[in-house]
Amino acid sequence: MASSPEQRADHDPHAVPPSPLAHAPREPVPFRPALPATPITFLSLRVRRGGYARPTIAIVLFCAAVIAVTWLWSTPVLNALGGIIDLARRNDDGRGRLLATAVMGAGGALAVTVAWGLATRLTRPVRLASGRGTIAVEEIAERLRAMLIERSDIVAAEALVENRHRSGLRVTAWLEVTPQAHLLEVTDAVSEYGELLLHERLGVPMSEPPQVHLTYRELDLTARRAHDRSDRGDGGARRATG
């Protein structure tokens, strides 16, 4: 005869007790009728999920602009288009075609250059190893800075994370350390923290070892010398009075 979870928990001290939520009454889930499978509902769902948001908004704005031009500025627009067509007919020769080819080629090259620059910019969000999420490089840099500033031998820290895409992430740190700090230990700590944060937690490799720029915290020697002189002056005065 099979025993219940409560009986097994009584006999076995290592058994996990049943959750009190297991027998709790559940609230009924309200029924939601399915939307009809139409192109409008499909696009609305994709827009809410962020899939087709930008293309849909661009198409809607373009259609709205065409409607506005049709009702408000139809005559000037048609006249301008007619002038362009007449100009193209008058220059329908080898020279005109060569000029049009050069203009279209330059426009296409500019578009490709802009798209390539946007796709390969160093501040592009980092895609996680699972492929199901992204995180901004500024967030990674701030988290790394918070990890570094917790050390007692680091007074101030700034971090920069650059997305090198397939090569990984490049990390650069500017640290202000105490005069008693061991510089090799500090640089090793930056590498360890970067490996922990990027590789183990985010699943993203580093393109190269972190670049660390170190500076010592300057001591206020002027105030210290004045304090020492005042101490010596007080001691000499006490000896003179004695």
> Is 27 part of any domain?
no
> Is 17 part of any domain?
no
Please tell me the distance from the alpha carbon of residue 122 to that of residue 163, in angstroms, as a whole number.
Answer: 5
Report the half-sphere exposure of 153 (CA within 13 A, side-chain side).
14
pTM for this predicted structure: 0.49
Q: Which domain holds residue 157?
A: 126-216
Please tell me the distance from the alpha carbon of residue 216 to that of residue 154, in angstroms, as a whole number.
Answer: 9
pLDDT in tens, the chain (242 residues): 445 544 544 555 544 455 444 444 444 444 444 444 455 554 554 444 444 556 778 888 888 998 988 898 888 888 888 888 888 888 888 888 888 888 889 988 888 888 887 777 888 888 887 777 888 899 999 999 999 999 999 999 999 999 988 888 999 999 999 988 899 999 999 999 999 998 888 888 888 999 999 998 875 555 455 555 555 555 554 444 44
Tokens of 84: 């362009």
Size of the chain, expressed as the number of residues it contains: 242
> Is 61 part of any domain?
no
> Is 212 part of any domain?
yes
Number of neighbours of residue 197 by Cβ within 10 angstroms: 19
Please tell me the distance from the alpha carbon of residue 45 to that of residue 53, in angstroms, as a whole number.
Answer: 10
Residue 59 identity: I
> Is 165 part of any domain?
yes
> Is 162 part of any domain?
yes
The pLDDT, as a whole number, for residue 38 is: 52
- Please state the domain count of the chain: 1
The alpha carbons of the chain give a radius of gyration, in whole angstroms, of: 35
> Is 208 part of any domain?
yes
By CB atoms closer than 10 A (0-12, 13-18, 19+), residue 173 is: buried
Of 210, 211, 185, which Cα lies nearest the Cα of 196? 210
> Is 29 part of any domain?
no
Q: What is the CATH number of the domain that holds 164?
A: 3.30.300.30
For the four alpha carbons of 234, 235, 239 and 242, in that order, the dihedral sign comes to positive
